[in-house]
Amino acid sequence: MSSRPVRWLSSDQQLAWRSYVVGSTLLLAKLDRELRDAFGIALPEYEILVRLSEAPHGRLRMSALADSMCHSRSRVTHTVKRLERRDLVARTASDADGRGVEAVLTAAGRALLERAAPVHVEGVRRHFVDVVSPEDLAAVGRAFGTVADDLVTEHPAADIR
């Protein structure tokens, strides 16, 4: 058990890492609060509405929803149940697959989203996109795209699913 020596982070790397952790924490908390205060919905709930709105007929299977957000199926079930209680989405059985369930955006859900989206986008701009340089923004996208690919394909599939 001759453990090889730990490869600690350089001080530059450590600084970058901590800046990311703190900045990211603050950013997501801020955007969450803005949506909550203005519309009473949390960021994950908002993102579900967005994904539904982008799907044909505002309709998507629970598993597709879960996969696209990298959330557990259980989490999506709970989140959608909350949204359903507020009549922002509805659930119907899938007719192709007897096991499947599809979530649909209701009229109220679409209306809420149309009011919320500009506010949210404005927040993303003010607190993120507009405060970093275009080059750094592109780098962030590249970096986390790579991270996501790495984590999704790492194990023989079936990680978050």
Partner DNA sequence: GCGGAGTAGTTGAATCCTCGACCATTATGG
Partner DNA sequence: CCATAATGGTCGAGGATTCAACTACTCCGC
Tell me the C-alpha to C-alpha distance, in Å, between residue 138 and each of 132, 133, 144, 145, 156: 10, 9, 10, 10, 29
Determine the longest span between alpha carbons in the chain, in angstroms: 63
Q: Which stretch binds a copy of itself (CB under 8 A): 52-60, 79-87, 88-96, 145-153?
A: 145-153
Smallest distance, a copy of itself to C-beta of residue 95, A: 30
Binding flag, residue 20, a copy of itself (CB under 8 A): yes
- Taking the complex as a whole, the smallest distance from the CB of residue 11 to DNA amounts, in Å, to 27
105: Cβ contacts below 8 Å, ≥ 6 apart: 49, 52, 53, 58, 59, 88, 89, 113
Q: Which positions ≥6 away from 128 have C-beta within 8 Å?
A: 27
At 7, list the tokens. 């490869």
Site string for a copy of itself, 124-143 (x = CB under 8 A): xx-xxx-xx--xxxxxxxxx
Q: Which is nearer to DNA, 93 or 138 (CB)?
A: 93
Q: Provide the binding-site residues for a copy of itself, judged by CB under 8 A.
A: 3, 6-9, 12-13, 15-17, 19-27, 29-30, 47, 69-71, 117-118, 121-122, 124-125, 127-129, 131-132, 135-148, 150-152, 160
